[in-house]
Structure 1
Amino acid sequence: MIHAAFLTIIDQEKNMAHRPAHLEYLSRLFDQGKVIMAGPFTDGKGGLVLYKTETVEEARELAEQDPVVLHGARTLELREWKPLQFPIELA
């Protein structure tokens, strides 16, 4: 299962303070195969993390342990995502 975590910045000061730990956390999860992609939105208001987990509970636990979420720098919206398989065959 793939889950998209939308992380909106709500406290810029806390965000800057916890950003290094956030990036380290995501790198560690990437090495474990739990994060497949992540990055900031170009408007500077937050970012997106794609988690690959067996359950929504595991994805939520990982997302909630992200230092920027844990310390109240960003809100978390977690949604299951189903990527399209290309090429798409139209019947």
Structure 2
Amino acid sequence: MLYVAMLHIVDEEKNQKFRPAHLEYINELYKQGKVVMAGPFTDKKGGMAIYKADSYEEAYKMAAADPVIVEGARTLEVREWSPLDFPLD
């Protein structure tokens, strides 16, 4: 199943400080096949990551361990996602 983690910046100073660790963390999960894709919003107010997990709890645990969440630089919202299959009939 896929889960979207919305990561809104609440402390810009902490975000800048912990962003390298955040990128390293996301990249490692990508290499493990646990992150499908991730990236910043164009308004520079946060970003999102799409996790592949067996349960909401597993996805939330991975997202909550992100350094920018642990250090209070960003808030976290995780939601299960069901992408559409195209073309739609």
Q: TM-score when scaled to structure 1?
A: 0.96
Q: Percent identity?
A: 58
Using the TM superposition, give the Cα deviation of residue 87 of structure 1 relative to its aligned residue in structure 2, in angstroms.
1.1
Take 1:80 and 1:48, find their aligned partners in 2: how far apart are those partners? 13
* 1:9-88 map, 5 Å: 9-88=9-88
Query: TM-score, normalised on structure 2?
Result: 0.99
Distance in 2, matches of 1:67 and 1:2, equals 21
Q: Tell me, which stretches of 5 or more residues in structure 1 are unaligned?
A: none
Distance in 1 (alpha carbons) for counterparts of 2:45 and 2:9: 6
Measured against aligned partners, the alpha-carbon deviations of 1:59-83 in whole angstroms (never above 9, x if no partner) come to: 0000000000010000001111000
Following TM superposition, where does structure 1 have runs of at least 4 consecutive aligned residues deviating by more than 2 angstroms?
none
Q: Which amino acid aligns with 1:41?
A: F
State the 1:17 CA deviation.
Answer: 0.5
RMSD: 0.4
Paired with 1:64 and 1:48, the residues of 2 have a C-alpha distance of 13
Superposed CA deviations along residues 31-89 of structure 1, whole A, max 9, x for unmatched, are 00000000000001000100000111000000000000010000001111000001111
SS of structure 2 residue aligned to 1:54: coil
Specify the SS of the correspondent of 2:83.
coil
Matched residue pairs, number?
A: 89
